[in-house]
Amino acid sequence: MLSYRHGYHAGNSADVLKHFILLYILDYVKKKNKNFIYIDSHAGAGKYFISDAYMQKNKEYLEGINKIIRIKNNDFFLKNYLDLVKSINFNTELKIYPGSCYLAAKSLRIEDKLHLLELHSTEFSNLKKNFEGDLRVVIENEDSYKKLKKLLPPKEKRAVILIDPSYELKDEYEKASKMLLDCYKKFPLGVYIVWYPVLNNKKSESFILNILKENYKNLSHIEMITDNSSNGMQGSGLFIINSPWSIEKDIKESLKIIFDCLKKSKDLSKLLFKNNIN
């Protein structure tokens, strides 16, 4: 896991889906006039430059943000995400792609807090530089599998928690599902967003079953397969615990727009959206 650098994948279709959902959730939580904390289990560097060798090696952003940012679209929730990416680039050419925590920081209010965990030493160093001077942010060079549950429950009593490991190690699916359950038991009121990749090795299938067998409250499951013929990542998915009651009404059309833009073929792609909102 310590060899993983998100710059290789920044701005890809999985990032588009994850970040769209993240901003939707943050905006929903902000509707209450009470402060909260955003916690990121694997924060990465915070932001990524299109010109960097990492992003240019695979150029995955060309099949993700580079596509979706060019479409004509009046969808409120999708426009909110894309407008924030554009504003970070000063509404000019796309030169920077913001990671989850950077988007969150731009979205959150002055009274809200962020707690970011990153184990990779170089990513951690870049993360600190990218948030220098932001007094809302605490950054720790820690293993989230050991640290995350220690942060819960937060003193703010309200939290959005993003769990998005790289899943490069074969036991990480099991570790991530266990970490989620441990955190939920300590803080069942948190809004949890759990990201996972869909690969051709089917490892995500047991992960999905592990999540579904637990009694998580107000669970939404979104999965987007953009190309199931790929030998690598075919798509990605998200679970949201304590999901907004209005999520389906709010973003069903948004997801369809994203899917139609990013899918590589009609026959080899699919969009799944299931809710169990009580």
Phi and psi angles of residue 61, each rounded to the nearest 5 degrees, phi first: -60, -25
Query: Does residue 46 fall inside a structural domain?
Result: yes
What pLDDT band is residue 182 in, cutting at 50, 70 and 90?
very high
Known catalytic residues are: 164
What pLDDT band is residue 8 in, cutting at 50, 70 and 90?
confident
Is the per-residue pLDDT at 259 higher than 50? yes
Query: Does residue 78 fall inside a structural domain?
Result: yes
Q: How many residues does the chain have?
A: 278
**What CATH number does residue 177 fall under?**
3.40.50.150
Cα distances (Å, whole numbers) of residue 43 to 75, 124, 148, 171, 259: 28, 8, 12, 20, 25
Query: Does residue 34 fall inside a structural domain?
Result: yes
| Sign of the CA dihedral with 86 first, then 39, 164, and 18 last | negative
Cα distances (Å, whole numbers) of residue 68 to 11, 112, 193, 237, 263: 10, 29, 22, 18, 11
pLDDT top residue among 170 and 253: 253
Query: Does residue 29 fall inside a structural domain?
Result: yes
Two structure tokens written together for 84: 């924030």
Query: Does residue 1 fall inside a structural domain?
Result: no
Q: Domain count for the chain, please give it.
A: 1
Which of 109, 125, 128 is closest to 35 using CA atoms?
A: 109
Q: What's the rounded Cα separation, in Å, for the pair 243 and 11?
A: 24
pLDDT tens digits, 112-157: 999 999 999 999 999 999 999 999 999 999 999 999 999 999 999 9
The residue range of the domain holding 212 is 6-276
Two structure tokens written together for 173: 């699916």
Two structure tokens written together for 64: 């993700």
For residues 1-24, average pLDDT: 89
pLDDT tens digits, 30-83: 999 999 999 999 999 999 999 999 999 999 999 999 999 999 989 999 999 999
What pLDDT band is residue 1 in, cutting at 50, 70 and 90?
very low
Q: What pLDDT was estimated at residue 230?
A: 66
Query: Does residue 257 fall inside a structural domain?
Result: yes
Q: Mean pLDDT for the chain?
A: 95
**Are 124 and 45 within 8 A, CB to CB?**
no
